[in-house]
Amino acid sequence: MTESATPSRIILIGPPGAGKGTQAARLAERLGVPAISTGDIFRANVAQRTELGQQAQRYMDAGEYVPDEVTNAMVADRLAAEDASAGFLLDGYPRTEAQVAELDRMLERSGASIDVVLELTADTDELVTRLLGRAAEQNRSDDTEPVIRRRLEVYSEQTAPLVTLYDERGLLVRVDGLGTVDEVTQRILDALG
């Protein structure tokens, strides 16, 4: 792929434990675009006590999902930042078909569109092993195998429609997320190139 054809607006999709955060950081650095994680956006808005952050905090404190309108507004604000004007890598957004539609509208207003959707795939049993290891390292006793398996089921249920939608648009590229960090990074770069 020539330099001018290098994707610069990327969505990274993958189940918990597939290494999205690690790969997002590596890929963003390689491409010279910011890695934008909704978790980071939430934490930054809460820490800065923005109006959106205070709204999100109320939902998070109650153990509820932050509604799409709050999430969408935070993402729109972040995508409008100077460092995202030439491109970005989204990690954790969109998560629903409604968020896909809103992201399309956001980008359309600026004359942009998504270049590629990278799906990191991984065997469920391997992911469970990884997440149980991470839970032990971080002393997260609430991350038991049944809880982890349920999170993976929910991810699969919620993400399957998005994967299908982006595949139908011809934007989906699947990459095996298992192996060393370097092996997975190389697979992603090969898939983009």
Just list the catalytic residues: 20, 95, 134, 140, 151
CA dist 94 → 49, 99, 161 (Å): 24, 5, 11
| Number of H-type helices and E-type strands within the chain | 8, 5
- Look at the alpha carbons of 104, 39, 17, 7 in this order and tell me if their dihedral is positive or negative: positive
Question: What does DSSP say about strands 172-176 and 35-37: parallel, antiparallel, or unpaired?
Answer: unpaired
